[in-house]
Structure 1
């Protein structure tokens, strides 16, 4: 199973778009999605600031600001999902 962590914040239009893209990319795949609002975590907020949304795959940064569906899908396949 691939662990996808989605770092976001409230009232973020890029995050809303990314959320939809992620949902499409993970549909039917062996992926666990964990969404975190960075404003609830001082360390994450300090690390990522205004660079949300951020997608981490198995703990490694895959994308930020915009999530490309094809690139994410290929990365998931490469990781066995």
Structure 2
């Protein structure tokens, strides 16, 4: 089971950038969840995507973030 989820949208250039930043930061494995598929998620994350969420403690990292911010948030 993974501990992280990246909430994103279809055809989202910011989400594509976030994926590149997560790769640069060597983030641990995460699941991708598209908010377009759920009214609940659309309401919660629709204007905030991409958002990285820690499923263990509920912390969230909203865009914009860079590799350094991701590494610090992961600690």
The TM-score bracket by the shorter chain reads: 0.7 to 0.9
Q: Which structure is higher in strand share?
A: 1
- Structure 1: gaps spanning 5 or more residues: none
Q: How many residues align?
A: 73
Q: Say if 2:2 and 2:31, in contact at 8 Å, map to a contact too.
A: no
Instruction: List runs of 5+ in structure 2 lacking aligned partners.
Output: none
Alignment-derived partner of residue 43 in structure 1: 40
The answer to whether the Cα contact below 8 Å between 1:2 and 1:57 also exists between their aligned partners in 2 is no
Change (3 A) 1:22 1:71: same
Q: TM-score, normalised by structure 1?
A: 0.76
RMSD: 1.9
**Structure 2 residue matching 1:26: 3-state secondary structure:** coil
Residue in 1 that maps onto 2:65: 67
